[in-house]
Structure 1
Amino acid sequence: MSDLDQPKRAVVFGYHNVGVRCLKVLLAGGVDVALVVTHEDSASENIWFESVISLCQAEGIPYITPADAKSPELLAQVQALKPDLMFSFYYRHMLPAELLAVAPAFNMHGSLLPEYRGRAPVNWAVLHGASVTGASLHEMTVKPDAGAIVAQMEVPILPDDTAHEVFGKVQVAAEQALWRVLPSLLAGTAPRLHNDLRKGGYFGGRKPEDGRIDWSQPAQQVYNLHRAVAPPYPGAFTDVGGVRYVIQRARLAGTGRGNFGNVVSLSLPPGLAVVDNCIFGVCGDGRMLTIASLTADGEPITAEQLQTRLAARA
């Protein structure tokens, strides 16, 4: 067998659903995955996604979970494997220049680059009311999400989609983008499209506290916040009387029958309210969210129970 007939050897850095799906694409494409570098699940995190470790165990792929991507031990281990290619599929650590120098490296990012570079791209896209996003495979550089684009796949963000629902689309887009470009990537003929960093923007990570609701904002902005952080993410919340209320499910009111599209005539102040045994979130522009499911300090609360609590504070 000639060198041209030998399967390409790859080292994969991966985690989360995108890590699982894209690793499966490489295996289906005949890539020799010599090593997977991944993370141990954190006991403090809500693990709602698939396990890269479980896939490695099922497929007999060697894997490691180093705490530091910059460790000399990891660099030496990857260098010893002499990979033809390296991939990063939702791996959570930046790879240092020394590691990127081992072989051509490609990262899968959950947006249409150069839009929404950085952390939590799907959540930021929903928060900003974007109507489209997708997945981008790009060359890795020391600067995050800055390398040339190799492949992209677009998906819609519907008006009522939550970030979790959009992420489901993005992970399929990532699989499709990688599947389509993989033959040319392995052949060394994949395109390189300019990643214009003058466009789009860079965004940092999000914390649970970023889900705090400012009821003085217009209803669309409050709704976008809810959609961006709805479960399985921590959720949009408001504190009333020392109790934390977290919105589990809600819709922007004002379109369907039975909804109160504009409550100015009801003289309700911004914040949580109960009208006709329904829970609403009244916003700064007089419009509101119809809240179908709400928790109080982690426990479900009914409209009747909430009305009793709100009346006691009046």
Structure 2
Amino acid sequence: MRIVFMGTPGFAVPSLKLLLEQQYNVVAVVTQPDRPKGRKKTLTPPPVKEAALSFNLLVLQPERMRHADAVAAIAELQPDLIVTAAYGQILPKALLDIPRLGCINVHGSLLPRYRGGAPIQRSIMNGESSTGVTIMYMAEGLDTGDMISAVELPITDEDNSGTMFDKLSLAGAELLGQTLPSIVSGQAVAVPQQDDLATYAPNLTREDERIDWYKSARAIFNQVRGLSPMAGAFTYLNGEVFKVWACAESKGHASNKSLIPGTVLATDNEGIYVQTGEGVLLLKEIQPAGKRAMSAAEWLKGARLEAGALLGDGGAA
């Protein structure tokens, strides 16, 4: 059986390795093109490409999978099955129709909830207590195909997007290994999704990263950990971007609702206490403009931040 694997970020690597460990015949790996990364904009291959090359696999990197030449290149490989995991582009019908066993996707949510490109981040940002992985047959719509199998995992307050990516990528690979035999034998039972229960997880924008201090401490806590350690949430301090990488709800510090949300209440060796629309948020790991990420306590040793200082758009002028 000939398999083409399609994936891009680290989330997809365990699934690729699972296929190889179980001695499936992966004839090619399709991933996104190398992209500039970091301050020096160094052209960097995606994690799936690095993994594929380490196993001496053929790697294809079309700019647009919808282009006829890209579809033709896959067709020439004569795959029996296409396996995708966080590839990053919607596949055209011409491609979905190529393999005799269809195309399956390892998706990082419990479908039909959180269809789209950022299901893990948005599950955390929305305060969900659990999420999971669904293996589904791919269809023309956005994550609308019939579901074959799923596994659920809890989201704890100690989790952020980084920890959940790791947990779900491993769970997805394990689920893929359990599910493939039924797909290969033609005995897989696929269940249609209930479209009326669908929710969406669109790719993140800059606005999703901006902290609105008028929201509750709990909501901002969820936002920050949902964006960490990838993009990070940000606010402003003295007109400059001030990133927040880790925080916590502060139960022991008195809230003062007479103050503008975003007002610094106090600082100590735990970090920076900020008034929100409801409750107090303790900033624990931050990144001032032009500096590296560090603990708030470390930054406070050399910075002057007094009670009454204002974070947010109100301090951006």
TM-score band by shorter chain is 0.7 to 0.9
Q: Specify every segment of 5 or more residues in structure 2 that has no aligned partner in the other structure, as ranges.
A: none
Picking from 156, 162, 165, the partner of 2:163 is 165
| Deviation per residue, 1:56-109 (Å, 9 max, x gap) | 222121111111101222222221222111111110111101111101101111
Alpha-carbon spacing, 1:198–1:136, altered in 2? closer, same or farther (3 Å): same
**Change in 2 beyond 3 A, CA 1:209/1:181:** same
**Residues 85/22 of structure 1: CA separation in 2 closer, same or farther (3 Å cut):** same
From 244, 249, 255, the equivalent of 1:247 is 244
TM-score, length of structure 2 as denominator length: 0.87
SS of corresponding position for 2:35 = coil
Offset at residue 208 of structure 1 (A):
3.1
Pairwise CA distance, 1:229: 0.9
Partner residue, 2:217: 219
Judging changes above 3 Å, is the alpha-carbon distance between structure 1 residues 48 and 202 closer, same or farther for their aligned structure 2 residues? farther
CA distance in 2, matches of 1:311, 1:18: 40
- Alignment match, 2:275: 282
Residues 49, 109 of structure 1: alpha-carbon distance in 2 compared, 3 angstrom cutoff: farther
Contact 1:274 1:303 in 2 (8 A): no
State which of 228, 231, 234 in structure 1 corresponds to 2:231.
234
Deviation at 1:306, TM superposition (A): 4.3
Question: Which residue number in structure 1 is paired with residue 51 of structure 2?
Answer: 55
Q: Which amino acid aligns with 1:174?
A: G
> In the TM superposition, what whole-angstrom CA distance separates every residue of 1:277-309 from its partner, at most 9, and x where no partner exists?
341121112x11111122221425623524159
1:273 equivalent in alignment to 2:269: no
The AA in structure 2 aligned to 1:168 is D
1:32-64 superposed Cα distances (whole Å, 9 cap, x missing partner): 111111123321469999721222222121111
Q: In structure 1, what is the equivalent of residue 87 of structure 2?
A: 91
Instruction: Tell me the percent identity.
Output: 28
TM-score of the pair, normalised by structure 1: 0.87
CA RMSD of aligned residues (A): 2.4
**CA–CA distance in 1 between the matches of 2:160 and 2:115?**
20
Quickly say closer, same or farther: Cα 1:190–1:282, change in 2 above 3 A.
same
Secondary structure of residue in 2 paired with 1:181: helix
Aligned pairs (5 A) from 1:159-198:
159-198=157-196
How many residues align? The count is: 298
The 2-side partners of 1:49 and 1:167 are apart by 19
SS at match of 2:235: strand
Separation in 1 of the partners of 2:283 and 2:290? 16
The match for 2:134 is 136
Cα gap change, 1:309/1:269 in structure 2, threshold over 3 Å: closer, same or farther? closer
Kept in 1: contact 2:267–2:307 (CA 8 A): no
The 3-state SS of whatever aligns with 2:131 is: strand
Partner of 1:4: none
